[in-house]
């Protein structure tokens, strides 16, 4: 089994996973986006905090190369990502309501 360096995992989360979440949200339903906001994103943020601690232990200068090694940067990145997901969620929710049309009952 291969173990991936925590610093490389943080870089992958920042450069690939978070952008993929935002891109995927555009194609998902509003309920899927809400789950991402309420469950997936907070869980990923906590994982990043754990990885940042491990990264600092293995490479004390990791903050220079890896943005998410800094707890303040983690907070900022995830706060911004949450704001973007919430905006997408509101738009999707509005479109889903418009698509369902007015109720005749």
Q: What is the pLDDT of residues 4-25, one digit of tens each?
A: 888 899 999 999 999 999 999 9
- What's this model's pTM, rounded to 2 decimal places? 0.83
CA torsion through residues 81, 82, 87, 88, sign: positive
CA torsion through residues 88, 83, 36, 52, sign: positive
H-helix segments, 1-105: 6-12, 18-27, 30-35, 41-58, 62-65, 71-100
Per-domain boundaries in the chain: 46-89
The C-alpha atoms of residue 86 and residue 88 are separated, in whole angstroms, by 5
Percent of the chain with pLDDT over 90: 50
């Amino acid at each position: 089994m291969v173990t991936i360096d925590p610093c490389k995992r943080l870089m992958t989360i920042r450069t690939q996973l978070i952008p993929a979440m935002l891109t995927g949200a555009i194609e998902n339903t509003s309920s899927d986006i809400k789950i991402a906001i309420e469950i997936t994103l907070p869980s990923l943020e906590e994982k990043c905090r754990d990885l940042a601690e491990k990264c600092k232990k293995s490479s004390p200068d990791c903050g220079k190369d890896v943005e998410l090694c800094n707890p303040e940067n983690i907070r900022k990145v995830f706060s911004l990502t949450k704001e973007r997901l919430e905006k997408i969620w509101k738009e999707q929710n509005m479109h889903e309501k418009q698509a369902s049309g007015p109720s005749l009952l």
